[in-house]
């Protein structure tokens, strides 16, 4: 066993790879909003999955207790991470597997390439020293994060995605736009067109019937499964107690990759480790219900090292940091590492539903991407600054998250960090902006009942400004940004407090001095 030290350095290294915006979120999102077909596809798909999820979640009377248990296990795992990773390595190695450690994307890619080369030539290689030139892949967020496919392609190794949606994205020279359903932005006619254009030997009379599309993909992939000598996977879980890795999936392509080739290489983020095998009992209930809206996953594969004569005989795991210790060092943001990549937060997010996944730039879109990407790179990385603002803070993501990650709270924390970082830059503007002044004024007024009451006396003015149509369509100064794309409804003639006073005949509790036993 190698010595492992995951003690948090003073300045933890940032992550690299496909975890950065290509351009600021508002700019990309504005363009995507013009794609009406994509918006229709997204609305249909997210609402379908959302309804299925609600149905299966409501079947469980102890759903909230399960969420609490999932959250508690993840908190424990993060607190004991160095010890658990060392235990995982010991167990995995004792059962015939090999553990490799990668600080960042570049190191992980290099390790995987070396392992593929060491696996020996395959049928398609140019000579016997070339090593394998084709590998099959199980859907994996970690390998997308590090840009493994692009890295291998540049070095003459073709990585074939075997998950149907990933295959569609790969053949379409596109990027995934959803964690679970990477081709969610495509409808079946668009998929048929991609297959006809890009899939070698496909039936030219292929229709957009889902069954025909699946049969075409199956025929295309089967040859790859049978010839590949190397498979690459991610991992949903790594069990420290036993050195076991686990992958859950729906199509059986994962099972083929995990059992047929001679060499199996798994890339796993450090945060995927769980203390005990029994912890799976919690996550195997939380994950399928939250992701695909199913009671259990069709395929759950668990493997522990090497079994002589059965399955892959060279089993490797590359344990990846790539900014995770940086996220772990942020005590407000570290719970983002609890994420089990179910995608429930995406399916309920009004911003994601309209902007789509590509607008986030990173491999991780939606609410979790808006916190995880800046945590991995650091908010000071220019390319991820706008992501924490890609949210209305409605809180739907927090309600849906099976491990109770308080995404809105982390978004606000990251926004605060961004503001502080801008202010600390040499030459930063010292005078308060219009926005600063407006917020300071609002804070002053709202923190005192009497001041708030005074402000509310201006409500009739707002009503008058709304005119006979009852909307305010143009505000001056920084307010203009708000009314640029929406109207403000006319304020009511009376505030809630004024109405309360009339109904109750007394002043609201906040205006009264506290009586004994009443806290204010």
Chain positions contacting ligand SF4, by CB under 6 A = 290, 339-345, 368, 400-403, 405
**Helices then strands, each counted (H, E), the chain:** 23, 12
DSSP state of 243: T
Pick between residue 45 and residue 344 the one whose CB is nearest to ligand SF4. 344
Output the smallest distance, CB 13 to ligand SF4, in A.
Answer: 23
Please calculate the CA angle 508-514-515 and round it to the nearest 5 degrees. 110
Supply 127's token pair. 């000579």
Output the smallest distance, CB 287 to ligand SF4, in A.
Answer: 8
CB 183 within 8 A of CB 197: no
Output the smallest distance, CB 35 to ligand SF4, in A.
Answer: 24
Output the smallest distance, CB 265 to ligand SF4, in A.
Answer: 25
Pick between residue 135 and residue 235 the one whose CB is nearest to ligand SF4. 235
Output the smallest distance, CB 342 to ligand SF4, in A.
Answer: 4
Output the smallest distance, CB 363 to ligand SF4, in A.
Answer: 12
For 25-44, b/e burial (b = at least 16 CB within 10 A) is: beebbeebeeeeebbebbee
Pick between residue 68 and residue 90 the one whose CB is nearest to ligand SF4. 68
DSSP SS3 for 170: helix
CB 325 within 8 A of CB 6: yes
Output the smallest distance, CB 74 to ligand SF4, in A.
Answer: 9
The secondary structure of 101-119 as a DSSP string is EESSHHHHHHHHHHHHHHT
Long-range contacts of 409-412 (CB under 8 A, 24+ apart): 409/332, 410/332, 410/333, 410/335, 410/336, 410/371, 410/375, 411/367, 411/370, 411/371
Pick between residue 340 and residue 379 the one whose CB is nearest to ligand SF4. 340
- How far apart CA 284 and CA 220 sit, in angstroms, is 31
CB 109 within 8 A of CB 151: yes
163: alpha, beta or left, given left = phi > 0 and alpha = psi -120 to 50? beta
Burial of 366 (0-12, 13-18, 19+ CB in 10 A): buried
- How far apart CA 237 and CA 317 sit, in angstroms, is 12
Pick between residue 180 and residue 231 the one whose CB is nearest to ligand SF4. 180
Output the smallest distance, CB 16 to ligand SF4, in A.
Answer: 22
Output the smallest distance, CB 148 to ligand SF4, in A.
Answer: 21
DSSP state of 191: H
Output the smallest distance, CB 335 to ligand SF4, in A.
Answer: 9
Output the smallest distance, CB 258 to ligand SF4, in A.
Answer: 23
Pick between residue 341 and residue 358 the one whose CB is nearest to ligand SF4. 341
Pick between residue 111 and residue 344 the one whose CB is nearest to ligand SF4. 344
- How far apart CA 379 and CA 385 sit, in angstroms, is 6
Pick between residue 230 and residue 342 the one whose CB is nearest to ligand SF4. 342
Pick between residue 50 and residue 220 the one whose CB is nearest to ligand SF4. 50
Pick between residue 230 and residue 280 the one whose CB is nearest to ligand SF4. 280
- How far apart CA 277 and CA 283 sit, in angstroms, is 11
Pick between residue 248 and residue 401 the one whose CB is nearest to ligand SF4. 401
- How far apart CA 289 and CA 307 sit, in angstroms, is 32
- How far apart CA 169 and CA 470 sit, in angstroms, is 47
């Amino acid at each position: 066993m190698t010595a492992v030290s995951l003690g948090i350095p003073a300045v933890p290294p940032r992550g690299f790879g496909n975890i950065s915006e290509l351009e600021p979120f508002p700019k990309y999102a504005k363009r995507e909003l013009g794609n009406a077909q994509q918006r229709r596809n997204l609305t249909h798909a997210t609402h379908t999955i959302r309804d299925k999820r609600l149905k299966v979640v409501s079947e469980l009377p102890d759903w909230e207790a399960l969420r609490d248990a999932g959250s508690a296990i993840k908190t424990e795992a993060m607190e004991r991470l160095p010890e658990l990773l060392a235990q995982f390595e010991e167990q995995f190695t004792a059962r015939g597997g090999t553990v490799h450690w990668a600080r960042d994307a570049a190191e992980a890619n290099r390790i995987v390439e070396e392992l593929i080369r060491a696996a020996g030539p395959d049928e398609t290689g140019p000579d016997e020293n070339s090593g394998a030139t084709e590998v099959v892949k199980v859907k994996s967020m970690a390998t997308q994060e590090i840009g493994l496919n692009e890295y291998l392609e540049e070095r003459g190794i073709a990585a074939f995605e075997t998950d149907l949606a990933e295959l569609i994205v790969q053949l379409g020279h596109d990027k995934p736009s959803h964690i679970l359903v990477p081709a969610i932005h495509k409808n079946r006619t668009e998929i048929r067109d991609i297959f006809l254009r890009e899939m070698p030997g496909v039936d030219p009379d292929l229709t957009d019937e889902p069954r025909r599309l699946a049969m075409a993909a199956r025929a295309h992939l089967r040859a790859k499964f049978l010839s590949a000598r190397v498979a690459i996977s991610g991992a949903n879980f790594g069990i420290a107690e036993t050195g076991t890795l686990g992958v859950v999936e729906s199509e059986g392509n994962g099972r083929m990759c995990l059992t047929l080739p001679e060499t199996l290489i798994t890339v796993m983020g450090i945060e995927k480790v769980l203390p005990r095998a029994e912890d799976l009992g919690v996550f195997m209930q939380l994950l399928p219900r939250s992701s695909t809206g199913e009671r259990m996953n069709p395929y759950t594969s668990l493997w522990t090292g090497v079994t002589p004569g059965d399955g892959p005989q060279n089993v490797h795991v590359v344990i990846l940091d790539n900014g995770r210790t940086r996220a772990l060092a942020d005590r407000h943001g570290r719970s983002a590492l609890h994420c089990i990549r179910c995608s429930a937060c995406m399916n309920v997010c009004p911003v994601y539903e309209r902007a789509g996944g590509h607008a986030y730039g990173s491999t991780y879109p939606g609410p979790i991407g808006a916190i995880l990407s800046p945590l991995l790179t650091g908010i000071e990385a220019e390319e991820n600054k706008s992501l924490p603002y890609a949210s209305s803070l409605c809180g739907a993501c927090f309600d849906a998250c099976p491990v109770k990650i308080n995404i809105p709270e982390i978004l606000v924390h990251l926004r605060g960090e961004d503001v502080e970082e801008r202010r600390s830059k040499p030459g930063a503007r010292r005078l308060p902006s219009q926005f600063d002044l407006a917020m300071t004024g609002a804070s002053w007024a709202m923190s005192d009942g009497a001041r708030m009451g005074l402000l509310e006396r201006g409500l009739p003015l707002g009503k008058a400004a709304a005119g006979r149509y009852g909307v305010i369509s143009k505000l001056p100064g920084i307010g203009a940004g708000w009314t640029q794309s929406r109207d403000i409804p006319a304020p009511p003639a009376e505030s809630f407090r004024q109405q309360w006073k009339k109904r109750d005949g007394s002043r609201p509790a906040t205006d009264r001095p506290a009586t004994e036993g009443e806290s204010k």
